[in-house]
Structure 1
Amino acid sequence: MKTKNYTRALTAWNSIPLKQMTPDDILSAAITAQTAGDARELRKWISISMSKEMARKMTIIGGL
């Protein structure tokens, strides 16, 4: 039987600078938080995802 160490995984996700994270990285961090049952951490990653997406859209609009 495998032991899952979600705390270690969340610590690892939190150690990566946000500027270096891809959308898939952020999704994976959110899934890890959800699997761990950590609602606060899940909300944080969802918020980060939404913020990065909004910034991406504003950059596209600004480039028009």
Structure 2
Amino acid sequence: DILTEVEFPGIGKAPIGSTPVKLHGTPGTIRMRPPTLGEHTDEILQSLGYSAAEIAALKQSGAV
């Protein structure tokens, strides 16, 4: 039970590390999948004050 399969958008099912600690009576579960690479980039850059045009320029240059 080291790995658990989760569904990723555009990828399908993929294995991820499961909960490392197993407690009797309160077993840990995977509640949500980890984010895909770059999934939250726009939101993070916006929260740092970047405009949509600046984010687009960063993407165009390959910086993000």
Q: Same fold (TM over 0.5)?
A: no
- Select the structure that is richer in helix: 1
TM-score by length of structure 1 reads 0.25
TM-score by length of structure 2 reads 0.25
Q: Greater relative contact order: 1 or 2 (C-alpha under 8 angstroms, separation 6 or more)?
A: 1
- Structure with max Cα Rg: 2
- Select the structure that is richer in strand: 2
